[in-house]
Structure 1
Amino acid sequence: MAVAQGSGTGVGGGGGTGTRAPELSGAPLIGSMLDLKGDSLGTFLRARREEGDVVRITAGPPGLRAELYCAFSAEGAQQVLASESANFRKDNAFYQEVRDSFGNGLLTSQDEDYLRQRRLVQPLFTRRRVDSYASAVAAETQASLDAWRSAPGGVVDVAEEMMGLALRAVARILFGTDVEATIEVVDRCFPVITEYVLRRGYSPANVPRTWPTPGNRRAAAAMDELYGVCDEIIRRRKDEGGGEGGAGEDLLGLLAAAGGGEDPAFDAGELRDQVLIFLLAGHETTATSLAFALHLLALHPAEQERAREEVRRVVGDRTPGAEDLERLPYLTQVLKEAMRLYPAAPVIGRRAVAATTVDGHLVPAGADVIVAPWVTHRHPRYWPDPDRFDPERFTPEAEAGRPRYAWFPFGGGPRACIGQHFSMLESVIALAMVLREYSLEPVDREVPVSTGITLRAAGPARCRLLPPK
């Protein structure tokens, strides 16, 4: 926000066996509450380093104390997210706050709701369909590159710029021509709602949302405005007759036309829920990956030049497209390494349904459980010299030599991110176009991060733009 010190017994199956997980040391009355509040990612790294691969972290005063069970090994992450995923549900307080603010879309829904939504949405995220979005990504990237020519002093904040680029790209793919007003509302309202979700999601006690507190009123106003613009676009799209071959060749039109047989189409409220989740998850995560990939390349000129030469050789002067994704292996390695060091979802939470053994330690029924890409991606068992930027970690041979869940920036198992191919496609195209146009030098060599719903830069990530060498 690190050699394994666990029991060494490996991942166990369900059931109430195993030893009690070691607890991270904290303050006498409030445990690790201040540590988590001040630097949650650093606290998780310390927990793994000091106590091993399964650690209990307690936080809060008596009577309001929370207890987290943290699984830091690749094997533990695989168990929680994949092999025993049915036992680890999105039932914690944080996910409920996201549901209450951004709707019950794919990110937050469960059980039959989730299965139905996934069946309806999956055809819209096939590789062929996603590849058709490449031209929209390229157009938005080119607009950013053109604007950078007038950047004062040739300096841009790549964190800010990539957030804008990713939002414009996903909004255009979702809404087609109905994009400008939506972007302005999202840009204004999302930070208010996100801050509200975080404050309530991590608080031991909250007043009801209906109470007229200043925070409740600000969040309600932002949600009303955001919901209103989405509802108006959905209403117009339904009046026009969305869907393939109609007025809605964009993703919203396809969502509106989805359904049939045993799965009825989304109603207007369900459509809004999907749109809000796609806007949230579809721009912040990709923006983080792009921003830190550019920041790391600016810090490492040899790797930057190698990636640029690959782009020149493969793409030349033409606009890159979906077919180039497989033809730019080194640039893809750069992106994967940036996502290792700066995973957009640095911590993933679940709640255990039944008592389970993870790496030899008992996780009781009802326990809040986290897996942490931020920590596992730095685990020295899988990543020698883990803080060093090295795209060679992601050659096919190197990837084949690691456990599947040593790297999981898109989650995993049945709840893996449905948009991961789109995120990779968008990121590779954007990186290729930036590197062809500009050489990057770092202005800010250290970029702090903050953890919200996603990982974000907590300060500027400025780069100086120069003609490519």
Structure 2
Amino acid sequence: MTTTGTEIPGPAGVPLLGSMFDLKRDSLGTYLNAQRAYGDVVRITAGPPGLRVELYGVFSAEGAQQVLATDSANFRKDNAFYQEVRESFGNGLLTSQDEDYLRQRRLVQPLFTRRRVDGYAEAITAETATLLSGWADAPDATVDVVGEMTRLTLRAVARILFGTDVEAAVHVVERCFPVIGEYTLRRGYSPANVPRDWPTPGNRRAAAAMQDLYGVCDRIIEERRAEGDAAKGDDLLTLLAQAGSAEDGSLDPAEIRDQVLIFLLAGHETTATSLAFALHLLARHPEAQKRARAEVDRVLAGRTPEAYDLDALPYLTRVLKEAMRLYPAGPVIGRQAVEAAEIGGHTIPAGADVIVAPWVTHRHPRYWEEPERFDPDRFAPEAEKARPRYAWFPFGGGPRACIGQHFSMLESVLALAMILREYELTAVDLDVPVDTGITLRATGPARCVVSSRRAGGTGR
């Protein structure tokens, strides 16, 4: 039997407002509870009459594959949330669609080949070494790995993007990104918004932050384009300015800025989340930490890791993948159905807002035994082969899969290897609360006591 529209099961919530308060208080928990109570296709309503929103949650691996891959043309980034991200951070690879997206992808893809990305290993390890040099002076030998990993990944991606202009870029991003992100998030989830050009305090603060952020990007882009073919840097911005083909032409300054903003957004917040929770989980599980460190010591023998070491660190990679299972940086992915679609015996209506949720699917008991338990060996090769492809999809999937997957994995494994080579970690905070913004974010600290493995050393 096929159910349609309002027949699809889901939580009733409270009279008139549905699940509005549940979603506002704990959206990830609301989705998880809905799957457990009602199954793999769920209808969730929220908001008062006239402003009511209907969400259709698709929580099975097979359903996620249908939305993101096999029927991806029918599920578009046309919802209000993506429109707000587009207006704040530009029409780059994360938000563009149709021919715009295909053209951008063709122009940018050559900059993200494995060989090209591997060339960024030195920048990653240099920034990691700089970060670790400060841990020896940490008060009470305690660091908050959320803040530390955010600082590391921002500096690394800014250095790779901007080269010698890294300091100016980092300063502006640190100041402006939180303002723009909160503004975008608030508008993306609001049932009604005033126009952006109205002179409200929130609009003015966001506009000033965007002006500063756009300004530093535009200045550096103008300098790179003025250098033309004479530019000798191998930073990503120089390569973007030089990218082009007979079929697709080249990126104009506004298009380059859009790509830069999306790379800054996706390239530091998501990887920071993965790294921070990998460290926190290792700090809470001493045996796994000991096993990962033994692998690092055996492979590196005290030297700085390089890109080719990635394949020689399989257990550390499993640790990272398990952290990304439990704490996916993109915990919810939204789409809008163009036409009605049948998924898992239910017909989702045309025009519906649809979500797939790594946060939920990564905890689905059909694919994961004791899903809340930390167990890196879930990602041993034989175990991975036994699961459906979309039981684990922290990078999305299908034609819109994240172009920076290899960069994120490389940065994370190299940084983890250097940290474990130098320090032992013990968790201070056993539970770290999270919430979903544009990406998953910790709403409390993840403090760890760090003990140098070099007697009397600085950790460098």
TM-score of the two chains, using structure 1 as the length reference: 0.95
Out of 78, 81, 98, which is 2:85 matched to? 98
Counterparts of 1:288-437 in structure 2, within 5 Å, are 288-437=273-422
SS of residue paired to 1:306: helix
Distance 1:384 1:71 in 2: 20
Out of 447, 451, 468, which is 2:436 matched to? 451
Per the alignment, residue 237 of structure 1 pairs with: 224
How far off is 1:254 after superposition? 0.4
Amino acid across the alignment from 2:322: E
Out of 28, 32, 36, which is 1:45 matched to? 32
Per the alignment, residue 71 of structure 1 pairs with: 58
Structure 2 residue runs of 5 or longer lacking an equivalent are 455-460
Per the alignment, residue 214 of structure 1 pairs with: 201
SS of residue paired to 1:68: strand
SS of residue paired to 1:326: helix
Distance 2:224 2:231 in 1: 10
Per the alignment, residue 174 of structure 1 pairs with: 161
**Match status 1:117 vs 2:104:** yes
Aligned pairs, number: 454
Distance 2:63 2:313 in 1: 32
Distance 1:162 1:23 in 2: 38
Amino acid across the alignment from 2:351: G
Out of 137, 150, 155, which is 1:163 matched to? 150
Per the alignment, residue 146 of structure 1 pairs with: 133
Distance 2:435 2:57 in 1: 20
Distance 1:246 1:310 in 2: 41
Per the alignment, residue 186 of structure 1 pairs with: 173
Task: Report sequence identity in percent.
Answer: 75
**Match status 1:202 vs 2:189:** yes
Amino acid across the alignment from 1:460: P
**Match status 1:82 vs 2:64:** no
Structure whose residues are more often helix by fraction: 2
SS of residue paired to 1:79: helix
Counterparts of 1:19-38 in structure 2, within 5 Å, are 20-38=7-25
Per the alignment, residue 4 of structure 1 pairs with: none
Amino acid across the alignment from 2:35: R
SS of residue paired to 1:123: helix
Greater alpha carbon shift after TM alignment, 16-25 vs 292-301: 16-25
Greater alpha carbon shift after TM alignment, 344-353 vs 142-151: 142-151
Per the alignment, residue 274 of structure 1 pairs with: 259
Distance 2:4 2:285 in 1: 48
Distance 1:248 1:96 in 2: 34
How far off is 1:17 after superposition? 7.1
Distance 1:375 1:260 in 2: 41
Counterparts of 1:243-254 in structure 2, within 5 Å, are 246-254=231-239
Amino acid across the alignment from 1:160: G
How far off is 1:315 after superposition? 1.0
How far off is 1:147 after superposition? 1.0
Distance 1:436 1:311 in 2: 7
Distance 1:302 1:318 in 2: 23
What is the Cα-based RMSD across aligned positions, in Å?
1.3
Structure 1 residue runs of 5 or longer lacking an equivalent are 1-6, 10-15
Amino acid across the alignment from 1:87: N
Distance 1:209 1:37 in 2: 23
How far off is 1:24 after superposition? 1.4
SS of residue paired to 2:134: helix
Amino acid across the alignment from 1:46: N
Deviations 1:102-160 (A, max 9, x none): 00000000000000000000000000000000000000000011011111111000000
Deviations 1:41-73 (A, max 9, x none): 000011001100000000000000000000000
Amino acid across the alignment from 1:432: A
Amino acid across the alignment from 1:218: R
How far off is 1:321 after superposition? 0.8
Query: Are the equivalent residues in 2 in contact too, given 1:337–1:390 (CA < 8 A)?
Result: yes
Distance 2:397 2:324 in 1: 15
SS of residue paired to 1:346: coil
Distance 2:240 2:232 in 1: 12
SS of residue paired to 2:10: coil
Amino acid across the alignment from 1:162: M
Per the alignment, residue 458 of structure 2 pairs with: none
Per the alignment, residue 12 of structure 1 pairs with: none
Amino acid across the alignment from 2:231: G
How far off is 1:317 after superposition? 1.4
**Match status 1:57 vs 2:44:** yes
Distance 2:232 2:48 in 1: 56
Distance 2:413 2:159 in 1: 18
Distance 2:399 2:171 in 1: 34
Distance 1:217 1:260 in 2: 40
Deviations 1:388-438 (A, max 9, x none): 000010000000000000000000000000000000000000000000000
How far off is 1:247 after superposition? 2.7
Distance 1:321 1:24 in 2: 50
